[in-house]
Structure 1
Amino acid sequence: MKLTRDDLVLGVTIPGFFIVSIVSLIACGHAFPAMHFWRSDSITAQAVLGTAVMIVFVPAFVVARFCFSYIVAFFLLSAVFGFIWLSFFSEFDYPHAIARWAMIAALAAAMLPLLFTDFAIWRPELSEAVMNRIVAVLLGTSCVVLMIDTSYGTSFGDPYGAARSAIARPALLNYLIGIIIGAVLPYLFAYFATRKRWAQAAGVLLFALCLYPVVNNKTVLLLPI
């Protein structure tokens, strides 16, 4: 495949975007000192080299042709890049190296079907009845997790204050509620909306708002938007 001038410009622009992102993250560390990561202005060689690994994804964007899924792939690249950089300055106690490599592996797995839509990838064929059962299981599981989380207590406090950490829950529940907010509910909304089942789609958004007293996170309030 012969690369054009535009391809070469793109190959330079994406690393430039990485640099701008780092500057932005450093600025955010100063603007929002209460966040759960240290200011990343004390740049270390480990952070630079660890984040530079993301350069390996640039050729895929250069070779791939532009389409809607290209935008999605770039959004994921941006999100993972930010996570990788901030993980070197995070205050949270978790295996940072494992988390970084897990995110990179997940990004690689997602980018292949997103960037190369003509690439032959086996996909299971599910009937509408099976899909409806899967959706029912996801909805039921989400409701059960919400009820269990609620049993530990609720809070309508300031999402920027101590209310977010006022109620202690098992780590497993925290992971499950994060998966529901970040993946299950957006998927359910898209599923119903694409089938023009507007009442069910609106119900998913209302369900998302019910999660606010549990997580006390502004992300839940913005989810319906």
Structure 2
Amino acid sequence: MGFPADIRDREAGDGVRLAGNDRGLALLILVHLGLGCVSLIFVAQAYSHYHIFFRYESLPKAIATIAAFAVLTLLFVRASFSFGYFVGYYLFVMIAGYLWLNTFSEFGYNHRLSGFSAAASLVAFLVFALYQPTLPRLLTLSSRDFERLLGCLVLIGAAIAAISACYNFRLVSIEDIYRYRETLSAPTVVNYLVGIATTALLPFAFACYALRGSYWRASAVLIVLLLFYPITLSKQAFFAPAWLIVMLAATRLMELRATIVLSLLVPTATGMILFVLFRHSLFPERSAMPIFQLVNLRLIAIPSLAMDYYNEFFFSHDLTRFCQISFLKPLMSCPYQEPLAVVIYNWFGIGGYMNASLFATEGVASVGPVLAPVSALACGIVISIANGMSAGLCPRIILISGALLPQTLMNVPFTTVMLTHGAVLLFFLWYVMPRGAPEQGH
């Protein structure tokens, strides 16, 4: 006997697909692009000292650029959910923001070349990132072994938190973290372990426990995850538990692709509404502007602005040829002894220590704008392999356990995310995880 159509669609792993759903998704993405551009206008009004500008005379050119770029919406409408879809959409929004800022930028580099390079790099990345290959399954854990593995992951995370607390532990409000974060000091290996635990191991354990209904164990994972906030004084550590809960709830209510779009659209729109209310004296500044700064400036605008900064700097300075990668640096003659984030901050003097995405770091900084699409293509191949390693899993497991990686990839070099943030380890966990578990009613 065949299954009803809605059950077949649910088992296909992309939520319940309704008639016209793809058209609705396309409209949602186009609305998001439009709101993103308006958000950057608001950011330019509030933070022009960050070299973020807006001029009405350049508006027609900016609109035409974004309209042409919006054709890539078709890729996301036609593709099925995968980890590459999740990552690709966040990077799509980031590049759209850069193309908008590029139109108004007052820096002196070749803006046309860099704009074409950024768009081509995204296309090169998506060609493979949206593809899910079939990989041979050489190792799959039994249910009992997997259960033991989950327990070990939580214990490892708790042990890393305890070790890290021996070096840094300070209870401060989120407004004061920048006053103390520069004083944090820990061995490099401890910092790596913290990144791996908070970005990969603990979110994976939370997703597995929560989706099979082990809510007490899932709550324990969130408590361990929250303990890393006074250790790292990081906004991501502070908001990570809430973000995982939101993604868990959202994936119960919506198709996964729509969840991904709304995960950026809703915070952007919220920040914009609060900004407008504040500008019209309908909402206090102390409540509106911190949210607008966190979401619309830091979460959305800064990753795009980093592309502008990196293009300006590396059009007149030596390229790194990948020497910024820690294990390659001793083997090469590198023109920069400090981390690139420090180099960029020292040059511009604003924006903080601005790490940047694969398009800026492995692309513009390493090989220049002409060869940047080749570098992006290689990164897309890695993400495609990750798609293959997660094939057959419940898609909610992939989305929730990987919920912190797309935002990290917007702000951190690709190689750093793969290694020191534990992405490769998460991919391996997906690969060895028994299929059909652990979600109830999948």
TM-score, shorter chain, exceeding 0.5: yes
Task: Map Cα deviations across residues 161-208 of structure 1 (whole Å, 9 max, x no partner).
Answer: 312333134555445423432332222111112222222112111112
Q: What does residue range 91-170 of structure 1 map to in structure 2 within 5 Å?
A: 105=125, 108-109=128-129, 111-113=130-132, 121-122=134-135, 124=137, 125-161=140-176, 162-170=179-187
Q: Which residue among 222, 225, 233 is the counterpart of 1:216? A: 233
Q: What does residue range 47-58 of structure 1 map to in structure 2 within 5 Å?
A: 58=73
Q: Which residue among 179, 183, 187 is the counterpart of 2:204? A: 187
Alignment check: 8 A CA contact 1:15 1:55 kept: yes
Mark the CA change 1:180 to 1:105 in structure 2 (over 3 Å): closer, same or farther. Answer: farther
Structure 1: 5+ residue stretches without partners: 44-50, 90-96, 114-119
2:175 is paired with a residue of what secondary structure? coil
* CA–CA separation in structure 2 for the residues paired with 1:6 and 1:189: 30
The TM-score normalised by the length of structure 1 is 0.59
The TM-score normalised by the length of structure 2 is 0.34
Aligned AA for 1:144? A
Mark the CA change 1:13 to 1:136 in structure 2 (over 3 Å): closer, same or farther. Answer: closer
Instruction: Give the percent of matched residue pairs that are identical in Structure 1 and Structure 2.
Output: 24
Q: What does residue range 74-89 of structure 1 map to in structure 2 within 5 Å?
A: 76-84=87-95, 85=97
* CA–CA separation in structure 2 for the residues paired with 1:42 and 1:183: 38
* Paired position in structure 2 for 1:177: 194
Moved more, 206-215 or 18-27: 18-27
The CA deviation at 1:213 is 1.0
* Paired position in structure 2 for 1:27: 42
1:224 is paired with a residue of what secondary structure? helix
Alignment check: 8 A CA contact 2:88 2:126 kept: no
Mark the CA change 1:6 to 1:130 in structure 2 (over 3 Å): closer, same or farther. Answer: closer
* CA–CA separation in structure 1 for the residues paired with 2:67 and 2:192: 28
Mark the CA change 1:6 to 1:205 in structure 2 (over 3 Å): closer, same or farther. Answer: closer
CA root-mean-square deviation = 4.7
* Paired position in structure 2 for 1:48: none
**Number of residue equivalences:** 195
* Paired position in structure 1 for 2:412: none
* CA–CA separation in structure 1 for the residues paired with 2:30 and 2:86: 14
* CA–CA separation in structure 1 for the residues paired with 2:160 and 2:91: 27
Structure 2: 5+ residue stretches without partners: 1-19, 56-65, 103-116, 243-442
1:41 is paired with a residue of what secondary structure? coil
* Paired position in structure 1 for 2:219: 202
Alignment check: 8 A CA contact 1:189 1:201 kept: yes
Aligned AA for 2:201? V
* Paired position in structure 2 for 1:62: 77
* CA–CA separation in structure 1 for the residues paired with 2:196 and 2:43: 26
The CA deviation at 1:218 is 4.0
Mark the CA change 1:156 to 1:191 in structure 2 (over 3 Å): closer, same or farther. Answer: same
Aligned AA for 1:185? L
